[in-house]
């Protein structure tokens, strides 16, 4: 993928920001099987929505009513006071919760429980998203072309589906070249 292609998909990222992500994207997407235009378009469309076009690598904290539920959430492994905020969504596909940070850190060989902010760097933001993508079987799902199912697996529902589909359509056109 070229810088011009990435900017065509996510124009609000800006040239400097997009350039910071280009090398890690080109390095790690192939390592995790995100190799076909369909897989890349599905991946990048989800990333574009989740990060506001690479501009937000950390969940904005209100806390909203939904975020308040992170605190003490057994499903997220948030067992200590403050885990909700400390392990809020970070990275390109918003790793959330102590348990997910621990699992991702093991996969990447880094201590994300002590240093959750590492997921805000381009290198680890991309890697964490690729780990999520692979471990959730999203390459196979992307191969089917069902972006609603991809979105549900990424987000747990259909939040932002229209925008994700719009990004997917642009990415499909751009990457087919």
What distance in Å separates the CA atoms of residue 20 and residue 23, rounded to the nearest whole number?
7
DSSP annotation of 95? B
Question: Active-site residues: which are they?
Answer: 50
20-24 long-range contacts (CB < 8 A, ≥24 apart) are: 20/122, 21/54, 21/122, 21/125, 21/126, 23/122, 24/122, 24/123, 24/125, 24/126, 24/127
The string of DSSP codes covering 6-67 is: HHHH-GGG-HHHHHHHHHHHHHHHHHTT--SHHHHHHHHHHHHHHHTTTT-SB---S--HHH
Structure token digits, residue 110: 């880094």
């Amino acid at each position: 993928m070229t810088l011009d292609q990435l900017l065509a998909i996510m124009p609000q990222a800006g040239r400097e920001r997009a350039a910071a992500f280009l090398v890690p994207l080109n390095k790690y997407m192939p390592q995790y099987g995100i190799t076909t235009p369909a897989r890349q378009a599905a991946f990048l469309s989800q990333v574009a929505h989740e990060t506001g076009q690479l501009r937000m690598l950390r969940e904005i904290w209100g806390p909203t009513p939904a975020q308040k539920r992170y605190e003490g959430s057994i499903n997220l492994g948030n067992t200590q006071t403050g885990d909700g905020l400390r392990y809020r969504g970070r990275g390109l596909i918003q790793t959330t919760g102590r348990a997910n940070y621990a699992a991702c850190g093991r996969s990447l060989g880094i201590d994300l429980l002590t240093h959750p902010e590492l997921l805000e760097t381009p290198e680890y933001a991309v890697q964490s998203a690729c780990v999520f993508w692979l471990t959730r079987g999203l390459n196979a799902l992307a191969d089917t072309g069902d972006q609603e199912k991809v979105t549900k697996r990424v987000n747990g529902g259909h939040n932002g589906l229209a925008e994700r589909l719009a990004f997917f359509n642009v990415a499909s056109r751009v990457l087919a070249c």
